[in-house]
Structure 1
Amino acid sequence: MSHLMPNLIKTAAAAAMLMAASPAAAELELSLYLGTQTASDSDASGYLPDGTPFNRNVDWKGKAFENPYYYGGRAMWWTNSNLGFGIEGTHTKAYASAADRAAIGVDRLEFTDGHNIFTANVMKRFPDAFAGSNFTPYAGAGIGIAVPHVDILASGASNRTYGYETTGLALRGIAGMKYALSDNWSLFGEYQIVWSDNDVTIDPDPGETPGKLRTELLTHAVNVGISYNF
């Protein structure tokens, strides 16, 4: 993960300089959203702290409407050319099925106090797409990091992995439609797809060495939310 950090820092710094340098970046939009989120199956491989290897295609569940709920928010600075730069954070979730946990040899395997995704975004909006209406389509992409809350307990172990880890690169894609309620307030609906590369450390019991789990997660979400522009 350490080799990714310099590039991510450079990307975030470049986005910040673009926002600061543009005199047209005067319109700030703050957005909050909820939605339904799923996670695709993915291969998970590695080894437990006792040395047991595993390689399994895991059936991940999103469970967006179970506590803790799926949600997200972003801040965008829009230029006069309708190009936007900003940051976004999303609290996604992924639970391994009971069959997958048993096959791997763990009692718990989930990212549920957030498989948290933080990205620097570039977006484009199209206010003239529907002339004379309050609808504005938009699309964008982001690059950043995954910071999941890792919850893993190997079967028979006493030490539970339970905490936040910075696990790898994350990429985000967005496509949506905004409806203006007033000059300042809007409602929106959108689709998001997020990919993340996750290199997870599994905490060991005394006398063992840390285990590892590596998986790529792909999540899909349909969001509804509200935005405030000023």
Structure 2
Amino acid sequence: MSRALTLIALIFMTPAAAAAQVELSFYGGVQSAPSSDVSVRDDVIGDDDFSISWEGRSSSAPIYYGIRATRWRSDTFGYGLDFAHNKIYPEDGELPAGYEVLEFTDGLNTLTVNAYHRWNGAFGDLTPYVGGGIGVAIPHVEVTNGTSETFGYQLTGPAATWIAGATYPINDQWSVFGEYKGTFSANKADLDSGGTVETDVFTNAVNMGVSFNF
């Protein structure tokens, strides 16, 4: 989270920002994930391939949330950074034999550089928008079995996101928004035992949030 805020500050606290509208957004919502295939390659605990059904538990601590900074260069085009704290748990504690923990709950974090198109003024005060971008996955990897325990943040691979929503102003500086947000992350993480765990994960979220414009 602190690294995401630092990157946002470095990009947006420049003289050029004064010539454009800058929007800082915070959001939460309901996030889920379909099942994915998991591959473990390890000389100590052995090789294994299996599928896990995931759930998001968005309102359980640590909650699902995101923060976004956008620089609108015109009435229609903008770009910026988006940090999302996604989460995935095995559904109903479903795990293969020998595993006590295998989850990304603090979280399945993604940091992406996005571009946006909006239809400003086309629907009165309501402004629809779409966006998408690419970046990196920085999950908190939690894997425990009978011989090793992995617990920590790792840079595990590329990530992508796609967004569609609409925003509505409260006043000149504040607005609220609702959106659909999907993410993809390719995760290949190192295990403390010397092996790797690998899975590609899609998440789907319905978000509600608030933005501050300056």
Task: Please state how far the C-alpha of 1:25 moved relative to its aligned partner.
Answer: 5.1
Of 163, 172, 175, 1:174 maps to 163
Cα 1:226–1:98 change in 2 (3 A) is closer
Question: 1:140: which partner in 2?
Answer: 131
**Contact 2:133-2:161 within 8 A present in 1 as well:** yes
Is 1:38 aligned to residue 29 of structure 2? no
Where do residues 46-85 of structure 1 align in structure 2 (5 Å cutoff)?
46-48=40-42, 50-85=44-79
Letter matched to residue 129 of structure 1? A
3-state SS of 1:88 partner: strand
C-alpha separation between the residues in 1 aligned to 2:103 and 2:80?
29
C-alpha separation between the residues in 2 aligned to 1:218 and 1:129?
32
Task: Please state how far the C-alpha of 1:46 moved relative to its aligned partner.
Answer: 2.1
3-state SS of 1:52 partner: coil
Unaligned runs of at least 5 residues, structure 1: 1-11, 205-209
C-alpha separation between the residues in 2 aligned to 1:29 and 1:193?
21
Letter matched to residue 147 of structure 1? I
The Cα offsets for residues 161-198 of structure 1, whole Å up to 9 and x where unpaired, read as 00000000000000001011111110000000000100
Task: Please state how far the C-alpha of 1:51 moved relative to its aligned partner.
Answer: 4.3
Is 1:119 aligned to residue 103 of structure 2? no
The Cα offsets for residues 75-97 of structure 1, whole Å up to 9 and x where unpaired, read as 00001242001001000001124
Is 1:183 aligned to residue 167 of structure 2? no
Length-normalised TM-score, structure 1: 0.83
**Contact 2:40-2:197 within 8 A present in 1 as well:** yes
Tell me how large the CA RMSD over aligned residues is. 2.2
Length-normalised TM-score, structure 2: 0.89
3-state SS of 2:74 partner: coil
C-alpha separation between the residues in 2 aligned to 1:72 and 1:191?
13
C-alpha separation between the residues in 1 aligned to 2:185 and 2:153?
15
**Contact 1:146-1:198 within 8 A present in 2 as well:** yes
In our comparison, the structure showing a higher alpha carbon Rg is 1
Q: Which runs of 4+ in 1 moved over 3 A?
A: 19-25, 97-100
Is 1:217 aligned to residue 201 of structure 2? yes
Question: 1:107: which partner in 2?
Answer: 100
The Cα offsets for residues 13-48 of structure 1, whole Å up to 9 and x where unpaired, read as xxx6xx979789511000000100001111111224
Cα 1:23–1:164 change in 2 (3 A) is closer
Question: Sequence identity, in percent?
Answer: 41
C-alpha separation between the residues in 2 aligned to 1:22 and 1:215?
40
Question: 2:87: which partner in 1?
Answer: 93
3-state SS of 2:57 partner: coil
Cα 1:107–1:181 change in 2 (3 A) is same
Cα 1:129–1:109 change in 2 (3 A) is same
Letter matched to residue 38 of structure 1? S
Cα 1:212–1:98 change in 2 (3 A) is farther
Letter matched to residue 115 of structure 1? L
Of 140, 148, 151, 2:142 maps to 151
C-alpha separation between the residues in 2 aligned to 1:23 and 1:161?
42
Cα 1:140–1:164 change in 2 (3 A) is same
Letter matched to residue 62 of structure 1? G
